[in-house]
Amino acid sequence: MRILSLGYVGTRSRRAEDWKRFGPEILGTPVATDDGAEVTRLRLDERAWRIAVHPGDRDELAYVGWEVSGPVDLESALAELRHAGLGAERGSLDERAARGVEGLVGFDDPWGNRHELFFGARSLGSFRPTREISGFVTGALGLGHVVLVLPDLEQAVDFFTRVMGFQLSDFIDVPFPLAFFHCNPRHHSLAVAHLPGTVGFHHLMLEVAELDDVGKTYELCRAAGVPLTMDLGRHTNDRMFSFYMRTPGGFEIEYGWGGRLIDDASWQVVRLPLPSFWGHHPVSKDPPTTLRSIA
């Protein structure tokens, strides 16, 4: 199948209402006001929404939306997923309306994470951040990237490349084994961290258009008492200058600038010994509450 980009992320949170302030005041993302549902939807660009937070009894990933080009690619992906035994199903009219898309296919990966393929996302045609920042790097590169925690890295690499069609970007061994995958020039739209006996959602990366936006947001988080999980630093593989914060949903957001772009014609997969050139020192050792242990 041919995935174009990370389109959206949905989570469930015990503090879903807090996102109505956290998004605009901390992230700089307006709250979508086009429906009266209890779901909090955040905008990062001209799309109607990119992040959805549903009320829930626990903090967890609800779904990840991956964009395809249109109905032909969606039907082809549906056939491939069913051939792989994944029980993929077309989204109902109500489900498509809830996501604001024309076409939708949903399925669970082997670890129970919900993935959705879609096309025809609703666009509102204009966007302005809620703070004095330059805006977010999206467009053809998509929302950013998601990092999932899974118990078997080898199996994950096989599934996400062979079944879902991602391309490997590279590997990092420390502080735990990670594999990175791309579907467009953004260095990675998906990464998998290997923690034995653990599954869940670790973090979402949002990329801003100017370096100073990272600095201003970092200072804002410190002043507002937003819990930081990793301090400022620069990654070795995607070259992202960033820091990490804990969200009201229990997972982390990497807020960054300067991400590396990949040219598949010349790219070579490598294994890197360290995650960062400098910085990214842990501030908190508490794991995201969106992770869970499995037998």
- Output the CA–CA distances (angstroms, integers) from residue 97 to 35, 41, 107, 138, 177, in the order listed: 11, 14, 18, 23, 38
Same fold for the pair 5-119 and 139-293: yes
Q: In what order do the strands lie in the sheet with 5-13?
A: 40-42, 51-55, 5-13, 60-67, 114-119, 103-108, 89-90
Q: Where are the chain's structural domains?
A: 5-119, 139-293
Strand partners, 149: 193, 200
Q: How far apart are CA 53 and CA 249, in angstroms?
A: 8
Q: How far apart are CA 128 and CA 139, in angstroms?
A: 15
The pLDDT score that the predictor gives to residue 162 is 97
Band the pLDDT of 258: cuts 50, 70, 90.
very high
Span 139-293 CATH architecture: Roll (3.10)
Give which of 135, 122, 130, 128 is closest to 65, Cα–Cα.
Answer: 122
| Confidence grade of residue 154 (pLDDT, cut at 50, 70, 90) | very high
- 291, 202 in Cβ contact below 8 A? yes
Can you tell me the mean pLDDT for 249-277?
97
Residue 37 has pLDDT above 90, yes or no: no
Q: What is the DSSP string of 101-120?
A: -SEEEEEE-TTS-EEEEEE-
Nearest to 99 by CA among 52, 60, 38: 52
CATH number of 5-119: 3.10.180.10
How many Cβ atoms are within 10 Å of 13's Cβ, its own excluded?
A: 25
Contact 136, 208 (CB under 8 A): yes
What was the pLDDT predicted at 294?
84
Are 176 and 271 a contacting pair, CB within 8 Å? no
pLDDT at 14 over 90: yes
